């Protein structure tokens, strides 16, 4: 029998995670949780039902569901919800697309999502609740902090460090040995050739800090 899993989230990102889990055939998706769109409770979504919000966690646990993955793109929200799920006794599951390439020496945290066409090369460390999105590449010896989101088409050269809960926008390129701080946003299509501090928004070619949080 397949292990039961619930996906916390019920939007586009959650649908991609559901597709990955279905392709791998290791888990049976029992439903989705959504704290925002209460009018959708009971609706069909990706072959299962939207069961309700976080109040359903206890019922699911009592019904024998032990596995969960957070299907929400927002970095800080994803980390926060994962901590709630862990306190309720759930296990964070990884979703790795069968067409992703992950080197054997890569160290993966919990709750990681690695989407189709992405590549993670040897020596890299991927923290908890990280998203490596469609066709992103993470070269050798990179360190990706908990809750970070490496968006589609991003290119990280070797030995790049991405801080906790940072967002690297679609199509961005980061040169080797660059460090990006925590909770920082790199705008879409940026080229990063120098270190970027924490709690800022940076974008451009080359990327410059534009907003300080």
Distance in angstroms (rounded) separating the CA atoms of residues 17 and 38? 21
Alpha-carbon Rg for the chain in angstroms = 17
User: 150 and 144 in contact (C-beta within 8 Å)?
Assistant: yes
3-class secondary structure, 95? strand
Query: Residue 100's closest CA among 19, 170, 178?
Result: 19
Give the ranges where the chain is alpha helix by DSSP (H): 12-24, 56-62, 75-87
Indicate which residues carry an active-site annotation: 140
User: 114 and 96 in contact (C-beta within 8 Å)?
Assistant: yes
Distance in angstroms (rounded) separating the CA atoms of residues 129 and 60? 21
The CA angle 205-207-210, to the nearest 5 degrees, is: 125
User: 151 and 166 in contact (C-beta within 8 Å)?
Assistant: no
């Amino acid at each position: 029998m397949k292990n039961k899993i619930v996906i916390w989230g019920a939007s586009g990102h959650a649908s991609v995670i559901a597709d990955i889990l279905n392709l791998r055939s290791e888990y049976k998706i029992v439903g989705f949780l959504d704290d925002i769109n209460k009018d959708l409770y009971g609706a069909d979504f990706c072959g299962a039902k939207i069961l309700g919000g976080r109040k359903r966690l206890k019922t699911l646990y009592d019904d024998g569901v032990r596995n969960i993955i957070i299907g929400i793109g927002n970095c800080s929200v994803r980390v926060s919800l994962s901590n709630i799920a862990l306190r309720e006794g759930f296990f964070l599951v990884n979703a790795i697309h069968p067409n992703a390439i992950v080197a054997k020496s890569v160290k993966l945290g919990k709750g990681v999502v690695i989407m189709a066409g992405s590549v993670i090369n040897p020596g890299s460390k991927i923290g908890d609740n990280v998203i490596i999105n469609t066709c992103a590449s993470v070269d050798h010896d990179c360190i990706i902090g908990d809750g970070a989101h490496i968006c589609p088409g991003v290119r990280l050269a070797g030995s790049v460090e991405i801080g906790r809960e940072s967002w690297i926008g679609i199509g961005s390129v980061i040169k080797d040995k660059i460090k990006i701080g925590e909770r920082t946003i790199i705008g879409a299509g940026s080229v990063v050739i120098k270190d970027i501090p924490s709690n800022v928004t940076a974008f451009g070619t080359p990327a410059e800090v534009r907003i300080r949080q």
